[in-house]
A and B are shown apart, each in its own frame.
Chain A
Amino acid sequence: MKLNLARRPFVNLRPITRLALVAWLLGALLAAWNLRQAWTLWRGLGAERELVAEAQRALGAERERLREVENALRGIDLMTENAHALFLDQEIDRRVFSWTHLFESLGRVLPREVRLVQVSPLLVAPGQPRGRGARKAEAAASELWVTVQVTGYAERDEALLDLVDALFAAPEFAAPDLRREAVPPGKPVQFELAVSYLPPAAAAPPEGAPGRAETAPAAPPPTVAAAIGIAPEAAAPEAGGAVALPPVPRTATAGDGEEGLPGVAEPPVGRREREPRTPAPDERSRAAAPAAAPRVGGRQPVLPAGEAGIPMVLGVPAAGASGQDTPPAAAPVRPPVMRPRKAAESVAPGAAPVPLGAPASATRRIGP
């Protein structure tokens, strides 16, 4: 038997004490953690607010700059600028167009029985040539195609068709369009056709051309196109993006070539037959002389008086045509190096920015 001499009964308070101690301890740790965390977060919050405020100030300043630039641009008539630049680009393109290359290219495709009377290039906006020859343009979509209008005579129908076939086949020509063909009695076939022509990229004179070795490149003129260009569709009045040059008023000159040219200034056939032109005495003597180039393997086309045509395959004059098959050595003349340098740039809202030093031959648009 055990004797209990305690005045109060035994109560175990240790669990309560331990729980309280643990709770106080955990609470203190959490309080410390919270204080640290709160300090960090408040500081971070302040810093973020400052950053946001600073970014908003910068945004406001940027918007102000944008407004200024927009106001400056608002005072500029972009359509007029574009039209002006397009016009000048076309003029420069026409200026740098190489007739020599055109002659040589035509000379390669011209059958012997065909003579050309008139050649007129019309610049076409960069892009695809029109018509069936568009496949040829796929590799050179950005090149400047030129529509060449040609009138001439062919001794035989087949020769004319040979010419059209050759134009289809030649890589530098595309989409030949035989527009007119007439066979006056007793006369050769008169024809008029248009063909897309891709001039060589270089504006320099052809290799071996007279004067080439002696020349030095001239300083290029300022090209408007260097800074901006035009979207053809923005100003081209014609469909398909083709831009025909404004016609230059032509005044009849002392030449008599106006007569009988199909589609150009040709009088009606009946009229020509009723009123045959009387050649001047000197013309008669020239017509009577054996001036035309004798064609190898073919007879000379019988051309109307005064409309003999170019008596050679262009670029490859028939023997004896002129006694001067190649141009004489040229005096040292500085060749113009006026390339149309059009760089692509769009000012259309939302358009991606294009660096100013964009590649040549691409049109540049400044417009809405």
Chain B
Amino acid sequence: MSGRAGLWQRRIRVWLPALLFLAANLGVLAWDRVVLAGRIAALERRLEWTANEREEVARQTRELASRRAAILRNREYRERLYQEWFATPEQRLTAAIAEVKDLAARSGLEIRAISYPQQSLTEYGLVRRSFVFGVEGSYGALRQLVYLLELTPSFLTLESIRVGEVGTGGQLRAELSLSTLFIAEPEPAGKGRS
């Protein structure tokens, strides 16, 4: 045990603690680099996932909320359409009949007869009332009536035109079918009871 090796062994108290101290710090450095940084990276990934998930949920929420808003707005429009344009027969039927007759008269057409078939649209809470009538007049008058029906602000729909015959002086006999919608009125349950 002589020579250089013996010297290092005899002086081990000098160099060994220093080397151990250095090695320990290298270990701590490695632990910092690997373990702690890994934990942070994992947390960052989790944060990113959470943010993405939140964004996705928020998008779905916005979408559903906008749909719900659209439905509510639609219901509001529908209610306005029903109340302001369809109304009940009590409120609008006679006015509609009078308007049809008035438009025909203004067009120079003579209504020969008119019938009012009715179709119940229960699922929509509506009643479709048709105005089927024959008119006599010129072609120009017929076109004029069609045009006036297009212009009228009332909810009158021209369903079909059927030309019957040519009369004297270029007179046409035509059958027109118009229709309009009314709010279905509830059955008068108490009416007529004593």
A41 within 8 A of B: yes
Given the known interface contacts A286-B168, A306-B164, A322-B138, the answer about A100 and B28 at a Cβ–Cβ threshold of 8 Å is no
Docked-complex contact A256 and B78, CB < 8 angstroms: no
Q: Which residues of A250-301 have CB atoms within 8 Å of chain B's CB atoms?
A: 250-251, 253-257, 261, 282-283, 285-287, 289, 291-293
Bin chain B's interface residue count: 35 or more
On chain A, the residues within 8 Å of B63 by CB distance are: 351, 353
The residue of chain B having its C-beta at the shortest distance from the C-beta of A293 within the complex is B170
Given the known interface contacts A19-B15, A291-B171, the answer about A325 and B130 at a Cβ–Cβ threshold of 8 Å is no
On chain A, the residues within 8 Å of B112 by CB distance are: 253-255
The residue of chain A having its C-beta at the shortest distance from the C-beta of B123 within the complex is A83
Q: Closest CB-CB distance, B81 to chain A, in whole Å?
A: 5
Bin chain A's interface residue count: 35 or more
On chain B, the residues within 8 Å of A78 by CB distance are: 71
Q: Which residues of B7-61 have CB atoms within 8 Å of chain A's CB atoms?
A: 7-8, 11, 14-15, 17-19, 21-22, 24-26, 28-29, 32, 36-37, 39-40, 43-44, 46-47, 50-51, 53-54, 57-61
Docked-complex contact B166 and A222, CB < 8 angstroms: no
Residue among A11, A28, A248 having the largest count of chain B Cβ atoms under 10 Å: A248
Docked-complex contact B37 and A256, CB < 8 angstroms: no
Complex: A220 Cα to B53 Cα, angstroms: 43
Chain B 77-119 interface 0/1 with A at a Cβ cutoff of 8 Å (1 = within): 1101100110000000000000000000011100011110111
Docked-complex contact B53 and A223, CB < 8 angstroms: no
Where chain B touches its partner, the secondary structure class is helix
Q: Tell me which of B43, B157, B170, B175 contacts A45 (CB under 8 A).
A: B43
On chain B, the residues within 8 Å of A353 by CB distance are: 59, 62-63, 66
Docked-complex contact B161 and A118, CB < 8 angstroms: yes
Q: Tell me which of B144, B163, B166 contacts A327 (CB under 8 A).
A: B144
Docked-complex contact B134 and A226, CB < 8 angstroms: no
A331 within 8 A of B: yes
Complex: A243 Cα to B19 Cα, angstroms: 90
B132 within 8 A of A: yes
Complex: A59 Cα to B60 Cα, angstroms: 12
Docked-complex contact B164 and A336, CB < 8 angstroms: no
Q: Closest CB-CB distance, A269 to chain B, in whole Å?
A: 19
Q: Tell me which of A66, A261, A324, A334 contacts B153 (CB under 8 A).
A: A334
Can you list 6 A-B contacts (CB < 8 A)?
A21-B18, A48-B43, A78-B71, A87-B121, A311-B166, A321-B139
Report the 10 A-B pairs with minimum CB-CB distance, sorted nearest first.
Answer: A286-B167, A324-B140, A23-B18, A30-B25, A322-B138, A308-B166, A254-B113, A227-B74, A255-B134, A257-B164
